[in-house]
Structure 1
């Protein structure tokens, strides 16, 4: 161990000096992750309902979409949106392409989570709501989704963490998020190890904060355990 030249592995001074510059990209990282999560969650609810529908014309398109999005690397989707679509006359800026790509991709994973969570709600809840004269959508909004969301919080939180980490792939289409900013410094200083360790620590810190939020949400929805 004494023979290891630690200054070539991690340079604390460079990390400290570069931190403000790298952190300029944190807003892109958080913006892309949070917006993509919100849009993806909205889409996933309809996908989950379509996936569970008894109507073939709803169920099979949803299953095909989910299968495609889960089977294609997100990087390819980003490249298609940013580099491919201009060939058919559709152009997105880098941030928009990233949000669309991550939203569509994450929706497929969250659809399966939501479908399972909804299916886990006891059927007696449906019957009780029906006996009270509640419509399908009212039952969903007031009875099923609150209970299903409690069940879905842990896996949905994992999707959010994956989105935060996957947002680093947006650097491949020139989005100036934290990974892209660290690459710029690393190329300039010729010290990739220091910068990549630094950006790893930043991602770790952000994901730790999201884990705290996950724990809060789990406690917040514990009141539905009584059902």
Structure 2
């Protein structure tokens, strides 16, 4: 019975990983224009970017999912619960990744920009060859921590009946009448997968540090 229960809840792992990976991927890419506006020389862009970031981070993920699925879903009838969840979590990821990138940029000494200009490098070349690699390395631990948090936050998608881990745990609870075991199995899966992700991120961080040290 326990093995059947575990396998039943395990069916939600692929969807949970898809939701987490797609949302984080949107954030990694979408956070770039946000941080570009956030550090822009134009005050209007900085104010707009900061305001949008604060709104995206200030509203709970579940509320965003409801707004997108039940609100915008009326205008976009083709959107399904998984797509709405990815869109909602992805938008939030953009805001958090923008702040992670900004933190990485502030950690890079401004003297490196000056040195690059003194060597005649263009701004694009400076960012691509000098600044971006450092920001990437600095941002890895924070991105990994956020990704683990996003992985756990993805459980709110079960309220839209997205077939992720918590959805199957809740389904098993209703089917068997057991209010504890299915959710304990879900908790174990979250812990194991989070631990694996944390170990992989630490390994990547160590490899990047060794490469920089050479």
Q: Same fold (TM over 0.5)?
A: yes
Of 119, 122, 137, which residue of structure 1 is paired with 2:124?
137
Further displaced range: 138-147 or 194-203? 138-147
Which structure 1 residue ranges, 5 or more long, are not aligned?
1-13
Which residue of 2 is the match for residue 69 of structure 1?
A: 56
What is the aligned partner in structure 2 of residue 152 from structure 1? 139
Higher CA-based Rg:
1
TM-score (norm 2): 0.94
1:62-85 Cα distance to aligned partner (Å, 9 max, x none): 101111011100100000111111
Task: Give me the CA root mean square deviation.
Answer: 1.6
Q: CA deviation at 1:223?
A: 4.0
Equivalenced residues, count: 213
Give 1:46-125 correspondences, 5 Å limit. Answer: 46-87=33-74, 89-91=75-77, 92-125=79-112
Q: Distance in 2 between matches of 1:166 and 1:146?
A: 29
Deviations 1:45-101 (A, max 9, x none): 2211211111123211110111101110010000011111133x1231111111111
Unmatched segments (≥5 aa) in structure 2: none
Q: Which residue of 1 aligns with 2:3?
A: 16
Does the 8 Å contact 1:26/1:178 carry over to 2?
A: yes
TM-score by length of 1: 0.89
Q: Distance in 2 between matches of 1:159 and 1:31?
A: 16
What is the DSSP-based 3-state SS (H/G/I as helix, E as strand, rest coil) of the residue aligned with 1:192? coil
